[in-house]
Structure 1
Amino acid sequence: MKHLSLGVFMAICGSIAAAEDAESMRTFLFIGTSNSTAWEMQIANPGDRAASVKGGIEALGGELLSYYWGLGNGKNYITVSLPDDPTFIQAFYVSRLGDGLLDDYQMIELMSSADMAAALERVSEIKAVDDVK
């Protein structure tokens, strides 16, 4: 992840900010590593994968925020905004595990910089409890 270009990082951050306007949505970064079968399919049928997944995500009440490929690593980096429903979010994640096209697949929930600042302000609360022990 540390190898994402500044442009990709800025695009992701801008997309996240837009998604945060919808309070009932949560933002996720999916990182997928395609296997040889997936690469064969993509080479035989090249196309914009973002366009092919956008409609499905929107039909489920989500929003595709960005879809990037890592230059030189072959991984895809997809950010989506999904409805705040933990069982739906987990089902969304699991739905990709059985398709046999990925060697590795991660889902990371993202938080805004403002939320991180609020979390950092609360560290002292945790430390105070730890110090009592």
Structure 2
Amino acid sequence: MNRILLSTAFCVSATVAAAQDTKDMRTFLFIGTSNSAAWEMQIANPGDRAASVKGGIEALGGELLSYYWGLGNGKNYITVALPDDPTFIQAFYVSRLGDGLLEDYQMIELMSSADMAEALARVPEIKAQDDLK
């Protein structure tokens, strides 16, 4: 499994079956900046990093949604669906910190546009509670 796991581009399935499969999953964007040792390793072994991380993520019960590189910034952006288990998710994140290949590493949980619309609709409810204080 590629030790340089970081992320982008949120992919959404149009099928009902796929939506049901990911119902108990949470989607994350990993953004990483490789250090010089990682670049040396990648230059010595060029290859499609998405292919190398996909199997490892699937073996852990997750799904690789996308794997992109930023043109001109050298960062990689990976979106992953992971089982809805906070301790597993945190362990997944921490497992990347000790490999010595990352200059910078972020994990951001993503939400769908539909969920954001629902959150925005609840803003008046929250504001009303604040007004009662």
Q: Same fold (TM over 0.5)?
A: yes
1:120 aligns with 120
- What's the secondary structure of 2:47's corresponding residue? coil
Q: TM-score, normalised by structure 2?
A: 0.87
1:70-91 Cα distance to aligned partner (Å, 9 max, x none): 0000000000000000000000
Q: In angstroms, what is the RMSD of aligned CA positions?
A: 1.4
Unmatched runs of 5 consecutive residues or more in structure 2: 1-7
Q: Which amino acid aligns with 1:47?
A: G
Structure 1 111/17 Cα, relative in aligned 2: closer, same or farther at 3 Å? farther
Q: Percent identity?
A: 84
Q: Which amino acid aligns with 1:46?
A: P
1:78 aligns with 78
How far the C-alpha of 1:17 sits from its partner, in A, is: 4.2
1:105 aligns with 105
2:60 aligns with 60
Q: Which amino acid aligns with 1:116?
A: M
- What's the secondary structure of 2:50's corresponding residue? helix
* Preserved contact between residue 17 and residue 112 of structure 1 (Cα < 8 Å): no
Number of corresponding residues: 122
2:12 aligns with 16
Distance (whole Å) between structure 2 residues aligned to residue 74 and residue 20 of structure 1? 32
1:39 aligns with 39
Structure 1 moving runs of 4+ over 6 Å = none
Q: Which amino acid aligns with 1:63?
A: E
Q: Which amino acid aligns with 1:124?
A: P
Q: TM-score, normalised by structure 1?
A: 0.87
